[in-house]
Amino acid sequence: MKIGGGDWCDGYNRVGINGKGESVWLCMFYALTAKNFSKIAMAAGDLVYATELESRAAELIKAVDEFCWDSEHYLRGFFDDGSKLGSSESEKCRIDLLPQAFCVLAGMSDSERVNKAVNSALRELYDSENRIVKLFTPPFTHTDSPDSGYVMSYPAGVRENGGQYSHAVNWLILACHKLGREDKASELAHSFAPFSRGASYKTEPYYLAADIYTNPKAYGRGGWSIYTGAASWYYRVLRELYGK
């Protein structure tokens, strides 16, 4: 699916600015949404629309498995010129967290690949000692080519440019939970809590920050606190893990 001027990560605003770039994550998100709306359409008696949504979801899942697998994880997308984003062949952004989490949430059909993708995310992006999950790694510099967008204007390891972005951590926790990996889901959920981060956090210990820096000069520092979107996702995840 076309990424245009950005998808969930609006910092990727030039990946598909010429109308040809594509988002692998958006394909997964569409498949997830289509499956859920299909159930609503079925309950409403609209069998035709329900079938159409299920068919479209299946087509996208098949296409992602056929064209977007990168030996150990799923690609993040494709630039306008066809080059890969989030590939092991890339100098920067070799792996992006979103498709590794959403391959579980979207119900990708190849369970071996799904487990391998989550393992890759945990291995490459999770710093267990400092309790940080990077959005992707390595970060971009403003001189890298092709130009992925304003994400490159942030210093390395700040905000979306290779720092932790809190929304995405929630999705990795949820993915581990849905895979039945409760120990890892619980570990991530506890490591995500802001109140135990210590002096390096440098922001309110009672707020869930939007992001945490991985830049060596400010490693572990929180940014843009009082982020209710991530906090509400965290509440939902905790309810799924521990709620009755």
Confirm if 210 and 227 have CB atoms less than 8 A apart. Answer: yes
Q: Which of 76, 201, 219, 208 is closest to 151 using CA atoms?
A: 76
Cis peptide bond N-terminal to 138, omega within 30: yes
Confirm if 59 and 114 have CB atoms less than 8 A apart. Answer: no
Return the pLDDT at 75: 98
Return the pLDDT at 121: 98
HEC-encoded secondary structure of 133-155: ECCEECCCCCCCCCCCCHHHHCC
Residue 145 has pLDDT above 90, yes or no: no
pTM for this prediction: 0.95
Average pLDDT over the chain, rounded to an integer: 95
* pLDDT digits 0-9 by tens, 38-55: 999 999 999 999 999 999
* pLDDT digits 0-9 by tens, 9-18: 999 999 999 9
Catalogue all structural domains in the chain, each as residue range(s) with its CATH number. Answer: 22-242 (1.50.10.10)
Residue 244 has pLDDT above 90, yes or no: no
Return the pLDDT at 143: 82
Return the pLDDT at 142: 82
- How much of the chain, in percent, has pLDDT values that exceed 90? 90
* pLDDT digits 0-9 by tens, 183-193: 999 999 999 99
Residue 232 has pLDDT above 80, yes or no: yes
Return the pLDDT at 226: 84
Opening angle at CA 83, ends 97 and 163, nearest 5: 30
SS3 156: coil
SS3 78: strand
Residue 180 φ/ψ region, left for φ over 0, alpha for ψ in the -120 to 50 degree band, beta for the rest: left
Contacts of 211 (CB under 8 A, 6+ apart): 158, 159, 160, 163, 164, 165, 166, 222, 223, 224
Q: Is 37 exposed, middle or buried (0-12, 13-18, 19+ CB in 10 A)?
A: middle
